[in-house]
């Protein structure tokens, strides 16, 4: 069994996954409430909380799986990208666990982890496929040719899609984290109530800074009572603009190649409208669509353990100097 650890941002997570990709335990402790009052993740606060949570979360995962450390054959951990102080807590914990038992250690790239969530049982998708990976830190269109890697076809030139949701939600006071809240509120709103411009970029790159500014202009200097009443419509219209750009680029990528399957990954892949729109696009074109449960879209350690199946692990004891990295570039 593989023990996976994930601490790149504000989720402390541990999971146990078999070599065949079956999840035996998937424990995620979110710090969202801790950071809510700041309207965003505070790196130092996140690192300190990871320190407190990492051992209990591993213990809980082992308990959930009915396993002990004796059953673990490989330890996997997110090495980057992410908040470096937060990552180092996971990397240090993973080193300690692996070293104490003489086990190999697999360093995993967080984005490869999101892609590898699509390879978990049941019903994994087999490469090649087109993947839209949208999270708080990244917006990527990927050509996934095999389990171990991918080619980037397009990326955001400014904010990530999840960041657009989170920053956008702050403007009309929709709370934090914003994506889920906008998704929830939008269900009662009219997506055509407000017209927010969608950036028209050539190629497969994305841009979300314009739509955020348009929302800012729509809500500034508005009285509280107006805002209160307009929130569902604002959420629905804003969501339509962000998702509209994601699906437009997805369709453009589909038009530019021969594809058999499409997959969504990353926290934004939990979005109801994105899931529905992508399903309609795939149905129209008779393509297979791979979606994972919302719990596997947002950060978790099962995806890290899954990715470790396709990574060359570092043999004991050569990994004590392993470092974390903040960004992939």
Binding site for ligand KG4 (CB under 6 A): 9, 135-137, 162, 165-166, 177-180, 183, 266-268, 270-271, 298-299
Binding-site size, Zn ion (CB under 5 A)? 2
Would the CA dihedral through 82, 83, 86, 87 be positive or negative?
A: positive
x/- letters, 23..42, toward Zn ion (CB under 5 A): --------------------
Q: Least distance from C-beta 299 to Zn ion, angstroms? A: 4
Q: Which option in Zn ion, ligand KG4, none does residue 298 bind, with CB closer than 5 to 8 A by kind? A: ligand KG4
Closest separation in Å from C-beta 273 to ligand KG4: 8
From candidates 135, 237, 239, 245, binder to Zn ion by CB under 5 A: 135
Q: Select the binding partner of residue 210 from ligand KG4, Zn ion, none (C-beta < 5 to 8 A, by kind).
A: none
Q: Among residues 293, 298, 303, 267, which one has the least CA distance to residue 113? A: 303
> Whose Cβ is closer to ligand KG4: residue 18's or residue 272's?
272
Assess 299 for contact with Zn ion (CB under 5 A).
yes
Nearer to ligand KG4, 162 or 189 (CB): 162
CB of 286 to ligand KG4, least distance (A): 27
CB 135, min distance to Zn ion, A: 4
CB 110 within 8 A of CB 123: no
When CB distances are held under 5 to 8 angstroms depending on the partner's kind, the choice from ligand KG4, Zn ion, none that residue 172 binds is none
Which residue's CB is nearer to ligand KG4, number 90 or number 104? 90
Shortest Å, Cβ 315 to ligand KG4: 29
Burial 23-47 (b: 16+ CB within 10 A, else e): bbbbbbbebeeebeeeebbbbebbb
The site partner of 183 among Zn ion, ligand KG4, none (C-beta below 5 to 8 Å per kind) is ligand KG4
Q: How far is the CB of 303 from Zn ion (least distance, A)?
A: 8
Pick between residue 180 and residue 290 the one whose CB is nearest to ligand KG4.
180
Pick one of ligand KG4, Zn ion, none as the site partner of residue 166 (Cβ within 5 to 8 A by kind).
ligand KG4
Closer to ligand KG4 by Cβ: residue 69 or 187? 187
> Least distance (Å) from ligand KG4 to the CB of residue 178?
5
Helix axes 224-255, 161-170, angle to 10 degrees: 170
Q: Which is nearer to Zn ion, 111 or 198 (CB)?
A: 111
Shortest CB 266 distance to Zn ion, Å:
6
* Binding region for Zn ion (CB under 5 A): 135, 299
């Amino acid at each position: 069994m593989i023990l996976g650890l994930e601490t790149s941002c504000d989720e402390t997570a541990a999971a146990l996954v078999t070599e065949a990709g079956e999840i035996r335990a998937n424990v995620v402790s979110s710090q969202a409430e801790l950071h809510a009052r700041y309207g965003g993740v505070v790196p130092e606060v996140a690192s300190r909380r990871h320190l407190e949570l990492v051992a209990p979360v591993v213990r809980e995962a082992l308990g959930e799986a009915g396993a002990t450390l004796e059953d673990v054959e490989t330890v996997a951990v997110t090495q980057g990208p992410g908040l470096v102080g937060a990552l180092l807590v996971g990397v240090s914990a993973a080193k300690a666990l692996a070293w104490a038992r003489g086990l190999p250690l697999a360093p995993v790239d967080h984005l490869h982890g999101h892609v590898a969530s699509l390879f978990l049982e049941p019903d994994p998708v087999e490469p090649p496929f087109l993947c839209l990976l949208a999270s708080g830190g990244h917006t990527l269109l990927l050509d996934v040719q095999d389990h171990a890697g991918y080619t980037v076809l397009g990326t955001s030139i400014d904010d990530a899609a999840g960041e657009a949701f989170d920053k956008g939600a702050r403007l009309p006071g929709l709370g934090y984290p914003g994506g889920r809240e906008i998704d929830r509120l939008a269900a009662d709103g009219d997506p055509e109530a407000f017209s927010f411009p969608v950036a028209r970029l050539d190629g497969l790159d994305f841009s979300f800074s314009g739509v955020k500014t348009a929302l800012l202009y729509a809500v500034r200097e508005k009285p509280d009572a107006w805002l209160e009443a307009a929130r569902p419509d604002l959420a629905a219209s804003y969501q339509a603009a962000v998702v509209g750009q994601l699906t437009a680029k997805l369709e453009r990528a589909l038009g530019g190649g021969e594809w058999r399957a499409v997959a969504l990954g990353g926290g934004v892949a939990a979005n109801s409208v994105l899931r529905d729109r992508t399903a309609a696009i795939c149905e129209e074109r008779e393509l297979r669509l791979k979606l994972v449960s919302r719990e596997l879209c947002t950060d978790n350690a099962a995806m890290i353990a899954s990715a470790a199946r396709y990574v060359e692990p570092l043999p004991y004891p050569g990994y004590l100097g392993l470092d974390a990295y903040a960004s992939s570039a």
